[in-house]
Each structure stands twice: as structure tokens, then as C-alpha cells.
Structure 1
Amino acid sequence: MLKNYFKIAWRNLLRNKLRTGIHILGLSIGIAICFLIFNVVTHSYSFDQFHPDGDRIYRVNTLSDWGDGGSFPNSGTPGPLNEVIKEEISGIEEKGKLYTMYNTLVTLPNTDKVFGRSNEVTFADPGFFKIFPRKWLAGNPETALIQPESVVISEASLHKYFPGSEASDVLGQELMYVDSDSIYASVTGVIADYNENTDFIFRDFISLSTISTPEQIEWYGLHDWTSVNSSSQLFVKLAQGVSANSVDEAFKPLISKNMEADDDGKYSTSFFTEPLSEMHFGQTYEGSGVSKTFLKGLIFIGLIILVLATLNFVNLETAQAIGRSKEVGIRKTIGGTRFQLISQFLAETFLIILVSSILALCLVEGLKVLFKTYLPQGFTLEYFSLFNLLFYAAFPVLLTLITGIYPALILSNYDPQRALKGEMFRTGKYSLGVFLRKNLTVIQLSSSIAFIILVLVLNYQLKFVTSQPLGFEKEAVMYASLPFMSDPDKMLQLQDRYNQEAIVQSASLSGSLVSSTSLWTSDVKIPVDTTEKDMYIQVMNVDSAFVKVNGIPLLAGTDAIDRADEILVNEQFVKEAGFASAEEAVGLVVGYSQEQVKIIGVVADFHSRSLREGIRPLLFTYNPEYFQSVNVKLNSDQNLAAAKERLEQIYLTVYPYEEASFNFLDAQIDRFYQEDVKIKNVLSFACGLAILISCLGLFGLSSFTIAQRTKEISIRKVLGATLQQILFLISKEYMILVGVSFLIAVFPAYYFLNDWLNGFNTRVDMPYLIFAAAGLGVMAICLLIVGVHSYVASQTNPGKVLKSE
């Protein structure tokens, strides 16, 4: 019996090639999108799910609330919190501390082996491995990280530093790590690498007790409750039955005990626990995290595309149901039961979905290549994983039931006597089938219109923000990172070398770029009569050439900042400080970083961060020990590729053991909106698919419905109707459907766009003309498809159509 169902189903599919092709193409696209998104989501949620008691492990985060200045979450915590948390807060079973390092140079002392700089080195205390136990290949996990100048390395580091050696052979070997100072650490343990997906990228764990002197503790910012650094991370494992909320509440008295409240009795700092399972969606160590909002958006888009393809199927099948009424009548007359008919029609649906699923797997490979840069780091598609095998087994069956059950019920419900006469089972004016088809068409069209509106407005806003003047010159400016805590003399040597080059207009040193994602904030005290006014400000560490290199206009004073007790400020600083003019601010002495500093110049406002944010009051300070970037302004009409190569050659003459990598400032600024561009491009792709699927459905539906009205069209022609009248008659119904679809699409599109646009400090007004253009565009496509079918039908000879009447 089952074999018969599939044999008949196959013959029916071959007999109706257009209908079958539309179904397979639409469903394969929907299934491919869903399969890829399913894998992306499962990959993202797989990170750090393998740790024992992972549901009881949390990272402690800090929230800094600056009132009108905004709230800023930070994955770091003050150093003293690690010392008291277990004693002050009940319910904590274990605590573990990490202090992550950046660009650490690794060498084998007394040899010429230099392994380059690494971001996979961290300080750790013994509690870290109690929370996150590892397989130990050598060493004692209880004592390995107790003594200062000890290091535990991973198996990957073992093969890198000591190729060919066994784990037990390297115990006692010495490694040198160059950070703010040189650390000579003895290997006390070797651990196995993780094979599972994890955000813990570290391979070298130096004992935290190595940071022991008061000078070191202060240098790393572990001495003060007010010092919060994202490098200083604290993990806790809660006891059984202890909730994270109770720990969050217990932080409040701890804060009031160790921190000072403001004048209103409020604390600007608070702590909260972040579940280990959520860490991948927050601040990670190598930018490998993913936005949960983006993931939810992908799921939403995938479901929309699949729903549109499913609606196509339901729409076409119910529309064509009357064409199979005689088949149903004959089957029922010769003894076929309704269950057998439903099984037959579901078999057809299953066969279509099976073929679509096979085609979808081929499309997935194309989608992987197309969206390679949008997929998570380390993402691989394992077709034979357990989750994917379950997807193959369950998804086609589930989709068959969802997609095919309604058309099967409609077809199997025909009355055999009426069906054999070619009559519908319902003769009244109202038809559920027609009503449902119109509504399904409206849903498809409204989805397409909403997608078009979203893409056009996103594109409009992104073009607007990228075309706005930023207040500085971004063209022909290149930059490179300097070694961490580099010798100031070497930095000046590098700057001088660049200034001697003919291709270079000017070079400067700074702590950050003129515009970047980094944000250093502090407060400053402005003298007002006999009192002081506190003001939150942004701080940038620059040299005297910084303003010139970046083309920032100087409004008053001088930009030659070369002393620690001198500062530059921007216009916004002058306004918020209450000065009448830039000239009035020059020469004023203000309190900054517990010192008295003098304002020597005022620069024009510029956007130091993305246009999502407003311009903050800004202070330029001079501290050459903390310069991290070299910025170079090239002369005009240079060969940029050759200039980049020359700059990197010079860099290596000063820093032979470093990696020279110069980048363009304008490319860095474009990355501000990288996430928005990703959203726009994904929506554009989804928009194209939605339009394609809707057009396929409209093509099939209009082809069938107009074929049903061929006799009506012929009679109207015989009675003298013109081509224009016939086209308008048929198109009128679809114009109404597009109008209703537009009204439905406008509301969700407006809600999403208004929320997204409000995230920009610099934004366009809601472009309602784009809404109208999207609706008119879809109407034009709809009328084109319907018009072509109507025109073909109107050109048919009425004599041939009406000869049987």
C-alpha cells in the first residue's frame, strides 16, 4: 500500500511539472536557510557546556552607572573583591581568578628562540582549576599555581615551546614572558587542551601570586576598589541550592562597606553574576562571541522564509484542489476511505519535501560560501552529527504534517457525487478556500513589503552616517599597534624615522586612535568661584603631533602638548564647564587625576566614537609610557600599497621581533557599523528570497486562477470588452490584496526601524516615502506577473474556448 502511495505520488509530480518545480524550489530554499541557521544556533549555544556543574558557575561582572553618562557593564572586577568574596558572601563553594594579558612576548631565556606575541597568556590562581578542572599530563594540580614565578602550560604550548618533549620532561624548564616587566616562570604543570568549543583560549597560566609587590599590584590595578579592568576577571562556583539572585543581593552591603556613595547616597558601582552559559553572548577574550539579538534575528528570518515557502505550498494546493475533485470522486466511489486519501496526499507532500531537503543540502554549501564572513569563528558544518541526524529525521516529517495536512483534508472532503459532476462541495457565495488563499497571499506579500522597507531604510541610515563629517581627516591616515609598554625612546625613534620619509606628511604617537571603540573615562574638577564642579570626561593620551596628523581644527591656544601637567580640551568640554568661549578656557588650571593641570589649547569637536553616541567632553593628556599606536599621515597622490609596505619595513627595523601591520583609519571607522551592515546584508538576502518565493507562489496561483477564468474572459471579449478592461478586471483583485498587505507590513517595519534608529545619536527622520516606494514596487511586480498571465489568456481565440458551450 505504501509503495503504491509513493508510486502514484511520483506520477502526479511528474504530470504537474510547473507546480512541482515551484514547490521544490521554494521549500528547498526555506529548508536550506533553516538548516544553516539551526547549525549556527546550536554551535553558538555549545560553548563551555561541557564543564562539570556548569549550571553553578558564574562570572562576576561590574556595572558602572554614570547617571546621564550612561551605564557600562564590564566583565572585570576590582582586585580586592577576589580577596574577600568567599568570606563576605555565603554560598560560594569555590572562587577562581584570572588576569588576562595582552600581546605578551614569549621566549626561552638563554636561547635565541622567540615565539612572538600571544593573547593566550594569563595569570591564574589555584582556584581557577578547581572550578574548571583539566586533565593533567604532568604536575600536581593542587600545588602547581601556588608558588610565584610558576606556569602551567597546555599541550599545544608544550609542542610549540619544547617540540618532541614529553610532558614530564619539561617540568622545571624556564620560560620568559615580557609584559610590563620580564617574568621568568618555571613550568610546574602540563594540561590537555580542550577539544570542545570554549571561550577560554588561554594556553599559558602564570601563578597569580607572581604579582606580589605593592608596585606590581598597583601597576595591574588590583589594589583599589575603584579600579575596574576587563582583564581582572573573577569566577565563582555556587554551592548546591544557592541562587545567583541571592549572591547579587549580597554584593550590595559589600559595596557599601568598601566604596563611597555620591551626594545622593547612591553607588556608581554594582556587581552582578553572569551564568557561564551566557558568557559566549557577552564579552569574550578574542571577540569570538555572538550577539543573542543577532541570533534571534536569524531564527526569526529563517522561520519567515520557511513559513512563506509553506504558505506557497498550501496556497497552490488548495487552489488546485478543485482540479483533482474528479480523482477524489472516483477513488471514493470505488471504496477509497478518507484516511487513505489523506495518506495519499501526504505521501505526495512528503515526496516533495524529501526532494527539497536533498536539494537544500546542496544549497547550504553555496550559502556557506556566500556568508562565510558572517558565520561564527570556528564554525564547521558536521552533516553527520547527532543534532543534524535528528534534523534530517524529524524535520521532513514535521514539515509534511504542517504543510500537507490542510490541503489533504480539503481534497479528501469532496462529496463524490458532486465531484464527479465537476461541482464544488460548497455552492454558496462565501468560500473558505478562496478566503484562505487570499489571506495567505496577503501574508506573503506583507512579509515581502516589510523586508523591502527594512532593507531600504537601513541602507539609507548607514549611507547617512558614513557620509557625515567627523571633525577630522580620515583619508590617507594609517596606523599600527606598538608593543605593549614599549621603551619611549624606541617609540620616538620610530616616529623620527617616519617623519624623515618623503611619503609621510607627519607621524604621531597616541594611546588610541582618533576614533575607535575604546573608551577611557575619568572625572575632572573645574574651579567655580570658591567651589569645584565635577565633570565626567573622555580621556585620550596623545603627543604634540596628534592634532596635526588627524587634521583636527585648533580653536584656541596651542596643540603642542608635551608635558604631563598640560592638557588640551574640546568644545564640548568648554560648553559643559560653563566657559563663554574657547579663549576663556585657555590657561585655566583644573583638577585631573589628583593633580593640577593647565589647559593650553582647545580643539573643535569631533566624533571619537561611532555616530550612535554623542560627542563627550574630551581631554587630551600626555603620558608617553602608555602610547599604544603610531599614526601616520601620508602625502597626497601616494601609491597606498607601496606606502604600506614601506611603513612596515621601517617598523621592523626598530622592532625586529614584532609583527608589522599597518591599517587604514577609514577602514577602522567603517567597522563601527559592521554589525549593522551584517544585519542589512542578511535582511537583503532574506528580502530577495521572500520576494522570490512570493513571486513563485503568485506566478503559480495567478496561472491557475486565470486558467479557471478563461471562459469568462472569452465571453467578455465576445461581448466587446477591450484588452485594458480585461486586464483591469483581473488585476483589480490583486491590487486590493497588495494594498491590504502594505497596511499590515507598515506597522512591524515602523516599530523595528524606530527602535533601531533611536540607537543613533545622528539619524535620519523616518523616511515615509521609502515605505510608499516599497509598496508601489511590490504592486508593480505583482501586476507584471498577473498582467503577463492575463494578457496571454486574453489573446486566446474565444471560438476555441467556447466551442463546447
Structure 2
Amino acid sequence: MLKNYFKIAWRNLRRNKLRTSIHVLGLSIGIAICFLIFNVVTHSYSFDQFHPDKERIFRINTLTDWGDGGGSFPNSGTPGPLAEVIQDEISGVEVKGKLYTMYSTLVALPTSDKVFGRSDKVTFADPGFFELFPREWLAGNPETALIQPESVVISANSLHKYFPGTDPSDVLGQELMFVDSDSIYAKVTGVIADYTENTDFIFHDFISYSTIRTPEQLDWYGLHDWSSVNSSSQLFVKLAKGVTPESVDEAFKPLVTKNMEAGDDGEYNTSFFAEPLAEMHFVPNYGSTSVSKVFLKGLSTIGLIILVLAALNFVNLETAQAISRSKEVGIRKTIGGTRLQLIIQFLAETFLIVIFSTVLALAMVEGIKILFTSYLPQDFRIDYFSVYNSLFYVGFPVLISMITGMYPALILSNYDPQRALKGDMIRNGKFSLGVFMRKNLTVIQLSASMAFIILVLVLNYQLKYVTSQPLGFDKEAVMYARLPFMSDPDKMIQLQDRYNQESIVQSASLSGSLVTSTSLWTSNAKIPVDTTEIEINIQVMNVDSAFVRVNGIPLLAGSDKITRSDEILINAQFVNEAGFESPEEAIGTEIRYSDKQVRIIGVVDDFHSRSLREKIRPLLFTYNPSYFQSVSVKLNSDQNLAASKERLEQIYLTVYPYEEASFSFLDTQIDQFYQEDEKIKNVLGFACALAIMISCLGLFGLSSFTIAQRTKEISIRKVLGATLQQILFLISKEYIILLGLSFLIAILPAYYFLNNWLNGFSTKVDMPYFIFVAAGLGVMAICLLIVGIHSYIASQTNPAKVLKSE
């Protein structure tokens, strides 16, 4: 019996090739998008889910609340002393583990003078860390490996890199050198296997935490007091069974009161909270493995919308074509077919369509994945034979078949056999659920398409606007490179002098950060006013005397030759907030910054040191050569940029032979500000194209069918003298009304999303309502073109051929 259902279904699909093709193409697009997003989401939620007792493991975070609208700022780090007292002060903490992450650490093998370059996968760790996160030990004792200072546990990855071809047990006792603020000579005390599962713990080298033991080291790493909170200092705990994170958060309050004071004048407060291990992947962490939950939710929403459009397209076309199958239903019922049998028959057809669509969708997935590689998580792979995907193959087609096929099946199986055989299925003057649903489903499809178009066009309009705004500095022909962490100031000066001697270079500058970047250093400055002081929150940049000149920042007053730690430059916004009448008045004024008196020697014009999402802050330039981290080079005009880049990197390697030289243009740094927005725009653009394609497919099928039903009406009107224009207007009139209603519905969600997004920019366009109208007219033109072509073809048919049977 079941075989007959599918045999008949197959024949019906082959007989109606156009209808089948439209259904398969529309549904396959929706299923492909859903399958890819399903795998991205399951991949993201799989990180660190393999650890024992994972639901009881938490990372302790710090929350600073500035109050009075200043905002709350979570930090994944904690003060060093908290780790020492947490088990004594907080009940319910079963195990604690500490990490102190290091960045750009130079690794070398002192016995053979091998240098392996800089690594971001080196960290300090205590024995409790491996108790929380057990590993497979290839050599060494997990209970003692990280107890003694100057010990290091390496992963199998590091073993093959540092000691190729050596057995794990043979490297125990070997010495490695790690260069950070100082040189650490650590003996290998253990070798562990690398994780094969998805994890955010990217580290390969674990130096014993007890290595940080002198007061100078504790002060350098910011572990000396409760007021120092560094995101590098990470604290993990495993709670006892039955202990809730909420109770731990509450227990932190008296600990904070006991050991931490509010900021000056009580302007901020600090608290701690326990973050579940499962949430760590959705906040910035150790590498670039994290992903935003907001992005995942947005991606899922887009996938769901595309699938809903495809499903609506199916339902709409099936209900429109139901009348053409009325005689089939009438005959089946007359010869004894039951309604249940008819429902099963029509669901069998739907199921076959969904199966074909799923197969085509899987072929599409790889193409879409290649197209959006840069948008997908690193090392993202689709395991087509995983348990989750196997469930998808079985459950998803059944679910979609039921959702898309049940309503058309119910409509078709409910026909009265006598009226169906007569072909009398249209009740003039009476409400028709099929017509009502068909029109409303069409409106929903068109509304989604219009909303997507509006979103993409406005996002593009705003991004073009902000990238065309003057930034307040000269970004042309400026290249930069990172300096080694805590490099010798004399070497940095040597590198700068070498660049200034080159004919291709106009000038070179050393600084703590670029003229514009994502980094932000804030502090407070106190300005004398009569007998009192006013305090303002400021941004701080560490620069040399060439910084202003290299970056083309206009100087308003004084000098830009900052060469002493007690000299500063400020910007025009600082002048305004400090209450100076003019830039000239500020010159020579002494203010308090970082607990010392400093003198203003120059005032520069305002410039955008961060993205145009943010307002320009009061800015202070200070001079501290020990903490310079970047070198910026302004090239002379008309230079071969590729050759200049190569020459700059050659010079870099002569000064730092063990480093990696990599120069980039300042423009690329600016582009990164809006990288996420560009991704959103491109994803929405792709979704927009799919939505339009699906809607056009549906409209093509729907209009071809409905116009075919009105062929006799068109022929009669032609015989009675109707012109081509009158016929086209008559048929298009209904679609114009539907398009108008779709436009009104599309405006609301598009405006809501865009208003929130635009409010995130301090420099933004006014809401471009003309784009809303243009998008609506554009969709109307496409739809009327499709309808018009079908109407024109129908109007050109000879009336005698159509009416000869009447």
C-alpha cells in the first residue's frame, strides 16, 4: 500500500515538472541554509563539553560598575590575592585552578641556541588547573609536575616542535627558555596529549605558577594587591555538589567589603561573579575561537526566515494549484477513497519533494561554506555522518513534510466529490480560506524580501558614510609593525634611526598604540581651577616626539616634541572639558596625572583614535619609551608600496633577527573597525538575495497558475474590445494592493532594527526614508515584471482557440 502511494506521487511529480522544480529549488535553499547554521550552532556549543563535572566548573569574573550612567564592565580576570583566599573565604569551592596567560612569548632551546619565535600559547598554571581539566599524561607525574618553580609541562604539539623525533620520557629534565618581561629557564617536568575535542584552552606550554614568587614579579604581573585586575589573571573553580553559583556570587560581597575599597570619591564599585564554563566560548577569551551569542542568534533567525519563506512558498503554490486537482480528488472519493488515504497520498508527494530538496541542499552546503569561509569559526568542519547530522537527515524531512504538506493535504482531501467532478470549486461572493491564505502568504513573503533589501541598503549607506568621514589624521602611505614585547628602548631607537635614514621614508615614530586602533587606555586627570581641582576621565596614548608629525595630526598650539615623562600633549576636547578658554591658555599648565605633576607643552586637534561609533574623548599623550609597542612609518609619495614593505621588513630583521617582521597599512586597521558590520551586511545581503529568489519563484509559479485560470476571462474581454493596457492593469491591480500591504508590514521591523543599529554610532546618517521607498518600488517593479510577462503571453493567445469549446 505504502509503495503505491509513493509510486503515484512519483508519477504526479514527473507530470508537473515546473511545479516540482520550483518546489525543490525553493526548499533546497532553505534546507541548505538551515543545515549549515545547524552545524555552526552545534559546533559552537560543543566547546569544552568533554571535561568531567563540566556543569560544576566556573570561571570567576570581575565586574566594575561606574554608576551614574558610566556603565558596567565585566573582566574575565581577577586580582591575584583572590585566588589565595577563595577556598578559605568561600564555602563550597571544591577545587581551584589558576592561569596567567602570556602573549608574544619568545621560546628558545638554550642548549642548541634554537629560537622558535613568539607564541601566544604559553601560560602560567598551577597544579589545580590540571585537577580541574584532566589531561592524558605521556610523561611526568601530574601531581608534582607544576609544584616547583621554573618547571614546565608541554603538550605533544610542542614536543614535536621543540624536540622532533624524541620520546616524551626522554625530554624530562630538558631546559626551555621563555622570554617575557624577563628570561625564564624552565625544566620540562611533564608531557601531555593535545585535546582532540573542541576547546578554548589553546595553550601548549604550562609554566609552574610558583615561578612568579618575588615581590618584583608579583608587581610586574599585577598580582600584588586587590586593586589590580588583569584579564590575564584567570581563576577557575569547581563547586561542590549542590552549591549554586548564585550562592557563591552572594558570598563574594563580604569578601569585597573586607579587602577592596570603592574608587576615589566612591565613583565605582567592584564585584565578582561565577561564569559557567559553557559560557566561556561566547565571550572574548584566549584566542580567536570565541563567537558572539548575538551573532549566532541572528544567524539562526535568518536561517529560520529563509526556511519559513521556502515553506510558505510551497504551501502557497500547492493551495493555488489545488483547484486543478479537484477532479482527481472527486474520482478518488467516488470510487471509495477515504480522506485519510488522500492525506497520506498528498503527504507522500510532499515527502518526496523534501527528500529531493534535502539531497540538493547537501550539495549546495559545500558551495555556501566556501563562499562564507571567513565568516565561519576557525577549523570548522561538517561531519556529515555525525549523530546530530544523522538525526537531522531523518527528523528534518519528516518535520518539514508535515509542516508544509499538511495544510494543502487537508484542503485537497476536504473537497466535495460532486462539486469537484463538476469543476465547481469557486464559491462566488463567499469567503474562501484558500484564497485568503494564498494572499496572506504572498504578503508575508514579499514583506520579508522588502525588509531584507531595506536593511542591506541602509547598512551599506551608513558604512559608506562613516568610512568617507575625515578622521583628523593622515592615513595615506602609513605602515606599521608590532615591536617585541618589552623590547630594549635602545633597540627601538636604533630601529627608528635606521628607518629615518631610508630615502623611501619621510619619518618614523614609536608609540604604545597606533593613532587609531581598538585598544583603549583610560585614566583620570586633575586640573587646577582656582583653589580646587576638577577631575575628568581621559584616554591616554604613549607616544614619542615624531608621532604627531608621522600621522599628520594638526598642531593647534605649543610644541609636539614630547621627550620627557613629565611632559604631555592634549587634544582640543581635553581643552574644552578642562575649562580652558583656548589651546594657547592650556600651554604651560601643570596638572595631576598618574599621581604626579605633568606639564602641558602642546595641543593637537581632535581626531578619531577609535571607530566612529564612539565620540572623541579628552586625550592625553604621555612619554614612556619602555612601553612602546608599535613602530609607524610614513612613506614618501610615489613609492612602490610592495617594494617599500619588503625593505622595511628587511631592516626590522636586522635589528630583531629572531622576530617575525610583518608590516601592514594603517588603512587595514581602520577597516577592522567595521569588520563585524561588513559581515552583518554581507550575510544579510546573501539572505536578501535568497529571499528575493524564493519569493520570485513562488510568484512565478503562482502568477502562471492564476493567470492560466483567467485565460477565458482575458479572451472574452479581448473579444469585447479590451485593450492590452486594460488587461494588464486588471491583472496587476490585485498584486499592486498586495505589494502595498507588504511594504507597510516590512517597514516596522526594518525601522526597529536599523534605529537600534544606527544609535550605536556617534557619527551617523539620518534615517534614510528614501531607501525604504526605493526598496518598495524595486520589489514592486520585479513582481510586476513577472506578472506582466505572464499576462502579456496570456493576452496574446488567439481568443478563438480558447473559447472554441464554449
TM-fit CA distance, 1:152: 0.9
How much has 1:90 moved relative to structure 2?
1.8
Work out the CA distance in 2 between the residues paired with 1:385 and 1:52.
Answer: 22
Aligned to 1:203: 204
Task: Give distance in 2, aligned partners of 1:776 and 1:270.
Answer: 54
Confirm or deny that 1:322 pairs with 2:316. no
**1:56 aligned residue:** 56
Alignment check: 8 A CA contact 1:260 1:267 kept: no
Q: Distance in 1 between matches of 2:738 and 2:401?
A: 28
The Cα of 1:531 is off from its aligned counterpart by 2.1
Cα distance, 1:682 vs structure 2: 0.3
Amino acid at match of 1:512: S
* Distance in 1, Cα, partners of 2:25 & 2:157: 47
Structure 1's 268 and 578: CA in aligned 2 closer, same or farther, altered over 3 A?
A: farther
Report how many residues are paired.
805
Counterpart position of 1:513: 514
Instruction: Calculate the TM-score normalised by the size of structure 2.
Output: 0.98
Alignment of 1:82-161 (within 5 A): 82-161=83-162
Q: Distance in 2 between matches of 1:259 and 1:126?
A: 28
Q: Distance in 1 between matches of 2:513 and 2:300?
A: 37
Partners of 2:262 and 2:270 within 8 A in 1: no
Q: Quote the Cα distance in structure 2 between the aligned partners of 1:216 and 1:744.
A: 63
Structure 1 position 264, deviation (Å): 6.5
Per-residue CA deviation, residues 296-325 of structure 1 (Å, 9 max, x unaligned), is: 111011111111111111011111011011
Q: Deviations over 1:734-780 (max 9, x none)?
A: 00000111111111111111111111111111111111111111111
Q: Distance in 1 between matches of 2:482 and 2:265?
A: 42
Q: Which has the higher mean CA deviation after the structures are superposed, 164-173 or 599-608?
A: 164-173
Number of the residue aligned with 1:32:
32
Written as runs of structure 1 = structure 2, the 5 A alignment for 1:183-194 is 183-194=184-195
- Distance in 2 (alpha carbons) for counterparts of 1:322 and 1:350: 21
Alignment correspondent of 2:295: 294
Distance 1:174 1:407 in 2: 74
Determine the C-alpha separation between the residues in 1 that align with 2:97 and 2:538: 34
Structural mapping, 1:462-501, within 5 Å: 462-501=463-502
Contact 1:418 1:425 in 2 (8 A): no
- Output the CA distance in 2 between the equivalents of 1:264 and 1:521: 17
Give 1:263 deviation, angstroms.
6.7
Q: Considering only aligned residues, what root-mean-square deviation do their CA atoms show, in Å?
A: 1.2
Once the 2 structures are TM-superposed, how far is the Cα of residue 262 of structure 1 from its aligned partner?
4.7
> 1:126·1:143 contact (CA, 8 Å) conserved in 2?
yes
User: What's the TM-score, normalizing by structure 1?
Assistant: 0.99
1:754 to 2:755 alignment: yes
Q: 1:312 and 1:188 mapped to 2: Cα distance?
A: 64
**Distance (Å, rounded) in 2 between the aligned partners of 1:85 and 1:527:** 42
| Aligned counterpart, 1:433 | 434
Mean CA deviation greater in 94-103 or 57-66: 57-66
Query: In structure 1, the residue corresponding to 2:552 is in which secondary structure?
Result: coil
Whether contact under 8 Å (1:414, 1:425) holds in the other structure is no
Q: Deviations over 1:597-656 (max 9, x none)?
A: 111111111111111111111111111111111100111111111111111111111111
Distance verdict in 2 for CA 1:701–1:425, change over 3 Å: closer
Equivalents in 2 of 1:745, 1:317: separation in Å? 25
Q: Distance in 1 between matches of 2:264 and 2:654?
A: 54
Provide the C-alpha distance between the structure 2 equivalents of 1:404 and 1:428, rounded to a whole number of angstroms: 28
Give distance in 2, aligned partners of 1:431 and 1:505: 78
Q: Which aligned pairs between 1:568-583 and structure 2 lie closer than 5 A?
A: 568-583=569-584
Deviations 1:583-603 (A, max 9, x none): 111111111112111111111
Partner of 2:338: 337
1:475-521 Cα offsets, whole Å, 9 max, x none, are: 11110011111111111111111111111110001111111111111
Whole-Å separation in 2 of the counterparts to 1:248 and 1:575: 42
What amino acid does structure 1 have at the position aligned with 2:131? K
- Cα separation, 1, equivalents of 2:389 and 2:150: 47
CA distance in 2 between partners of 1:287 and 1:268 (Å): 30
Distance in 2 (alpha carbons) for counterparts of 1:210 and 1:139: 19
* 2-structure distance, mates of 1:505, 1:438: 67
Deviation at 1:69, TM superposition (A): 4.4
SS of the residue 2:77 aligns to: coil
Deviations 1:507-544 (A, max 9, x none): 00111111111111111221222222222111111111
Within 5 Å, give how 1:255-334 maps onto structure 2.
Answer: 255-262=256-263, 265=266, 267-334=268-335
CA distance in 2, matches of 1:425, 1:408: 18
Q: Is the 8 A contact 2:66 2:267 kept in 1?
A: no
1:380 is the counterpart of 2:406: no
The alpha carbon displacement at 1:265 in A equals 4.8
Q: Within 1, Cα distance between the matches of 2:172 and 2:42?
A: 39
Which amino acid is 1:44 matched to? Answer: S
In structure 1, the partner of 2:600 is 599
Residue 250 of structure 1, CA deviation: 2.1
Could you tell me which residue of structure 2 aligns to residue 400 of structure 1? 401
Structure 1: how far apart are the matches of 2:593 and 2:544? 18
User: Aligned with 1:569: secondary structure?
Assistant: strand
* CA deviations over 1:551-574 (Å, ceiling 9, x no partner): 111111111111111111111111
- Hey, what's the Cα distance between the residues in 2 that align with 1:779 and 1:10? 36
Whole-Å separation in 1 of the counterparts to 2:574 and 2:227: 24
For structure 1, list consecutive stretches of 5 or more residues without a partner in the other structure: none
Residue range with higher mean Cα deviation, 527-536 or 367-376? 527-536
The 8 Å contact of residues 480 and 630 in structure 1, kept in 2 or not, is answered as yes
Relative to structure 1, is the Cα distance of residues 758 and 570 closer, same or farther in structure 2, using a 3 angstrom cutoff? same
- Amino acid of the residue matched to residue 191 of structure 2? V
For the Cα contact (< 8 Å) 1:62–1:270, is it kept in 2?
Answer: yes
Q: Which runs of 4+ in 1 moved over 4 A?
A: 262-266, 425-428
SS at match of 2:674: helix
Report whether the alignment pairs 1:227 with 2:221: no
In structure 2, stretches of 5+ residues that fail to align are none
1:710 aligns with 2:711: yes
Q: Distance in 2 between matches of 1:283 and 1:799?
A: 73
Shift of 1:428: 4.9
Query: Judging changes above 3 Å, is the alpha-carbon distance between structure 1 residues 649 and 263 closer, same or farther for their aligned structure 2 residues?
Result: closer
Partner Cα distance (1:241, 1:759) in 2: 42
List per-residue Cα deviations over 1:383-432 (Å, max 9, x = no partner): 11111111111111111111101111111111111111111175652111
Which is worse superposed, 712-721 or 446-455?
712-721
1:740 alignment counterpart: 741
What whole-Å deviation, never above 9, does each CA across 1:110-167 have from its counterpart, x for those lacking one? 3121111110000111111121111122222222111111111111111211122222
Q: 1:419 touches 1:425 (CA, 8 Å); kept in 2?
A: no
Cα drift, residue 70 of structure 1:
3.6
3-state SS of paired residue (2:309) = helix
SS of 1:299's equivalent?
helix
Q: How far 1:258 sits from its partner (Å)?
A: 1.9
8 Å contact from structure 1 (residues 573, 616) kept in 2: yes
Q: Give the distance between the partners of 1:133 and 1:697, measured in 2 at CA.
A: 55
The farther-off stretch of 85-94 and 290-299 is 85-94
**What residue in structure 2 maps to residue 44 of structure 1?**
44
* 1:179-233 deviations in Å (ceiling 9; x for gaps): 1100000111111111100010001110111111111111111112222221111
In 2, Cα distance between equivalents of 1:224 and 1:665: 38
What's the % identity of the aligned pairs?
82
Q: Is the 8 A contact 2:66 2:268 kept in 1?
A: no
* Cα separation, 1, equivalents of 2:221 and 2:422: 89
Distance apart, 1:259 and its partner CA:
2.1
Shift of 1:799: 1.2
In structure 1, what is the Cα distance between the partners aligned to 2:267 and 2:58? 26
Secondary structure of the residue that 1:792 maps to in structure 2?
Answer: helix
- 2: distance between equivalents of 1:502 and 1:72? 47
**Partner of 1:525: helix, strand, or coil?**
strand
